[in-house]
Chains A and B, each alone.
Chain A
Amino acid sequence: MNLAMLKPGEKGKITKMGAIGSLKRRLMDMGVLVGEDIKVKKVAPLGDPIEVTIKNYNLSLRKKEAQGIEVEVVK
């Protein structure tokens, strides 16, 4: 299960960061870390990118970038 598969309104807990290199570091700098809760808020009108809430703020990223973030669904 990765972040791109979550639907708007669904919440997940990050289990693994599959992204590598600068993308991984950039995500980590933005607070996208293993163990964090992450919630998908919206999908852009054209289907990509997505908006998520993490660490109490809103972040947008492309689905391709979200695919590298492994999550488990949290109810």
Chain B
Amino acid sequence: MSNTMHDTGYTIQDRKIMHHKAITVAVAGNPNSGKSTLINAIAGTRLHVGNWPGVTVEKKEAMFEHKGWKIRLIDLPGTYSLSPYTQEEIIARDYLVHEKPEVIINVVDATNLERNLYLTVQLMELGIPVVVALNIFDEAEKKGYKIDIKTVEKMLGVRVIPTVSTKKTGLNELLAAVTETAGNPSKHHPKQLNYGEDIESAVKATSAQIKNTHPALAEEYPLRWLSFKLMEGDSHVMAEVKLKESAFIEETTKHLKKAHGEDIESIMADERYALASGLTHEVLKRPELRKMEITEKIDKIVLNRLLGIPIFLAAMWLMFKLTFDIATPFVDWIDAMTTGPFKRWAEAILGFINAPAWTVSLATDGVIAGVGFVLVFVPVIFAMMFFITFLEGSGYMARAAFVMDRAMHSMGLHGKSFIPMLLGFGCNVPAIYATRTLENPKDKALTALLIPLMSCGARLPVFVLFTAVFFAASAGTVLWSLYVMGIVLAVLMGVIFKRTLFKGEAPMFIMELPPYRMPSFRSLMIHTWEKGRHFLIKAGTYILAVSVLVWFLLNLPWGVESKKDSYLGRGGQIIAPVFEPLGFGNWEASSSLISGLIAKEIVVGTMGEIYVTKESGVKSQESEEKTPTFTEDMKEIAISFASATKDAAVNVFSTFGIASITAEEDEEAGGMKPVIQREFTPLSAYAFMTFVLLYMPCVIVAIAMRQEFGTWKWFGIAFGYQMVLAWVVAFVIYQGGKLMGLG
């Protein structure tokens, strides 16, 4: 294992330390044990965040040198146990069993010793040397807890180091204990705990049977652990080692079952807790009188029957506002940069080298607009990640889930689904990323499927334009009706999905309400930065590609004069009949809808371009702003290539500022108003808005879904059901309205 990292092209730095020992250290611990903070404190910016292969669970990893040791630190998902019932547990134990790290650092919350030691007991079954980091030690001391560390070490046979990860206390001692343990593993083997006579004799018999009948398995797996798992009837392990339950387990556990009952899994859990609890009693002295703790005081207010929900909603409003308000100035700044200087420079450079006109358009309207498109999401994703991480780290996220679970559960969701759904009203993209707070894959997938029904800021310009033209008198009511429609349909679809796609056992809601803690600023920043960086690199590439693709769609075939003849226009003509029964079966509307795939407000941009140029042939505003130093050619090109991508990109920049959208709408609507009034009726306009509200998520949401789930599957389902839903609802509205004589 230690050789693998030297296989290819090592640097001088690597060469220098090659003769030192390289070890892999896995970090395991309960959720809320301060494990993340501890890892951030040790590894800091050397930390790399990725995903465990094939699943959406986060994997953190760091490589660093410590006193001549080259340490590879692997953060295992936070778990309460190593049973096979959650993704996190399976990942953690598969890693430990198959990758066999040299040392496990077990982060234990000193204020919650018994439950944390339950995991320690299970880790010790694996036969890998363990070092316990007795974390949050300061809080335990403050509570008056006295922990006899020497006795813990003696009873477990492992090193135990008190740490305070938020203050970086005890980290050097911890690393020293790790290297000492790695240097002399046989001396630091965890003690084999005694599970009582009945279990021990059954384990002995099982181990002997495995050794006799399957010697290869006895080599590959920690024997005692494998025996436990086979006795427990752990389906995951059974399938992995291809052993039928009946093989010999029936025989070796006969006596045990007779004495304690059939359910060996429960017997084992009981026994492990008995060990954890016995140990706790032995080493921990708690003060008799317990004063009301700060967490209880806060919860008295925050979870109050009357105040709980108003406080939650106020907190959410604040978070929503801060997320998008913080992001807006940066968004504007990025907007100014990409539409201003970047664009001018590209034009100047390409002009200077006499590049063909179309390359200028591709560079500015395709590439630079695309880059702007990516960058514009960065501030909002950074801000959102910051708040989500803060909510989780502080302990309020669990309370939010507690308060909202009843309401969310009625539509098949989890209490924690509320926050991603709410963020969806700002922008669906960060909302999809926010689903990572949901541990259960079912809850997570269902939430992500319903998020696109939350009407995001990008849909607003479309609504504002059409309501201004047709429903000026009751604009507010019409706007609200669309938002409410999205919510109602989300509830409905939630119930439908629960009964179809997510049939079967509902995910459970067994959740710790951890004590409130102030998350360390450093930890917050590292996490936020990693997420933002990831988005930039991964999603950025895709978005750029799509932006360039749309440019080609709008500008091919070469020398196309009218938008109607571009590929986009042709596509619009082909699909237009599909929208006939919905009341907007013209190529202009359907082309706009296609261009909306990049972001929904582009619908307005495309429409503006098509209708305005079609109507009067007026030059678009951009052409007048061009500096006269540009050649006539360039001007012509800039006018003809002023694509929807650019207009749209400009609009996207204002996605997050509702006020600015409303202001911009007026100029735009000015030109389009008469045309729209002629092409649509109030009824078909409403059907069109409904369609825009419900139809496919934009491409950036698609990429976010791909990134969060590691597969296109969920986007595929979202795309499919939303297209059908949009068509059906718009159909019902248009045809129903016509029947009622509204058309």
Contacts and interface: CB of A to CB of B under 8 A. Distances in A.
How many of chain A's residues touch chain B, expressed as a range?
A: 20 to 34
B85 A26 contact: yes
Interface string B396-413: 001001110111010000
Interface string A21-56: 011111111110110000000111111110100011
Contact of B403 (A22, A45, A57): A45
Interface string B80-97: 110101100000000000
Interface residues of B, number: 39
Interface in A6-29: 17, 22-29
Contacts of B512: 30, 57-60
B403 A44 contact: yes
Given A42-B299, A62-B405, A29 B269 contact: yes
B521 interface: no
B409 A62 contact: yes
A61 interface: yes
A31 B303 contact: no
A21 B720 CA distance: 35
B406 A47 contact: yes
Given A61-B509, A61-B510, A48 B406 contact: yes
Interface in B55-88: 80-81, 83, 85-86
A60 B414 CA distance: 13
B443 interface: no
B508 A51 contact: no
Interface in B409-428: 409, 415
Given A29-B80, A42-B303, A45-B308, A56 B114 contact: yes
A51 B514 CA distance: 12
Interface in B279-309: 295, 299, 303-306, 308-309
Given A22-B85, A44-B405, A28 B269 contact: yes
A24 B308 CA distance: 30
A63 B304 CA distance: 18
A55 B276 CA distance: 11
A3 to B, nearest CB: 12
Contact of B509 (A33, A46, A49): A49
B406 A60 contact: no
A72 interface: no
Given A29-B83, A29-B269, A33-B269, A44 B303 contact: yes
B305 A45 contact: yes
Contacts of A55: 114-115
A60 B115 contact: no
A23 B86 CA distance: 11
A25 B508 CA distance: 12
Contact of A65 (B112, B265, B402, B510): B510
A62 B80 CA distance: 19
Nearest to B86: A26
Nearest to B274: A33
Kindly name the residue among A22, A58, A61 whose own CB sees the greatest number of chain B CB atoms within 10 A: A58
Interface string B295-326: 10001000111101100000000000000000
Contacts of B719: none
B353 interface: no
B72 to A, nearest CB: 29
Interface in B94-138: 112, 114-115, 118
Contacts of B405: 44, 46, 48-49, 62
Contacts of B505: 22
A10 B405 CA distance: 23
A28 B266 contact: yes
Kindly name the residue among A29, A34, A49, A57 whose own CB sees the greatest number of chain B CB atoms within 10 A: A29
A17 B306 CA distance: 33
A45 B266 contact: no
B80 A30 contact: yes
Interface string B475-511: 0000000000000000000000000000001001111
A29 B299 CA distance: 25
B114 A30 contact: no
A30 B115 contact: yes
A46 B309 CA distance: 9
B2 to A, nearest CB: 33
Contacts of B304: 45
Contacts of A23: 508, 510
B262 interface: no
B85 A57 contact: no
A22 B236 CA distance: 13
B273 interface: yes
Given A29-B83, A31-B115, A57-B115, A46 B407 contact: yes
B513 interface: yes
A60 B118 CA distance: 19
B270 interface: yes
B273 A62 contact: no
B509 A60 contact: yes
A60 B270 CA distance: 21
A26 B86 CA distance: 9
Given A22-B85, A48-B405, A62-B409, A30 B112 contact: no
A61 B398 CA distance: 12
Contacts of A51: 303, 402, 513
B406 A49 contact: yes
B510 A27 contact: yes
Given A22-B85, A26-B510, A29-B80, A44 B118 contact: no
Given A30-B80, A45-B303, A45-B308, A60 B269 contact: no
A24 B402 contact: no
Contacts of B270: 28, 33-34
A58 B513 contact: yes
A31 B402 contact: no
Contacts of A30: 80, 115, 510, 512
Contact of A25 (B85, B305, B406, B513): B85
A61 B510 CA distance: 5
Contacts of A56: 112, 114
A31 B118 contact: yes
A73 B83 CA distance: 31
Kindly name the residue among B304, B407, B415, B508 whose own CB sees the greatest number of chain A CB atoms within 10 A: B508
Nearest to B401: A60
B139 to A, nearest CB: 13
Contacts of A65: 508-510
B508 A31 contact: no
Contacts of B115: 30-31, 55, 57
10 tightest A-B contacts by CB? A46-B406, A29-B81, A45-B308, A58-B513, A28-B269, A22-B85, A48-B406, A62-B509, A29-B80, A45-B305
Given A51-B513, A57-B514, A60-B401, 16 more contacts: A22-B85, A25-B265, A26-B83, A26-B508, A26-B510, A28-B270, A29-B269, A33-B269, A33-B273, A44-B402, A45-B303, A45-B305, A49-B402, A49-B509, A51-B402, A60-B398
27 contacts: A22-B508, A26-B508, A28-B269, A28-B270, A29-B85, A29-B118, A30-B80, A30-B115, A31-B115, A31-B273, A42-B299, A44-B308, A45-B305, A46-B309, A46-B405, A46-B406, A48-B406, A48-B409, A55-B115, A57-B512, A58-B513, A58-B514, A59-B512, A60-B398, A60-B510, A61-B511, A65-B508
Interface of A: 17, 22-31, 33-34, 42-49, 51, 55-62, 65
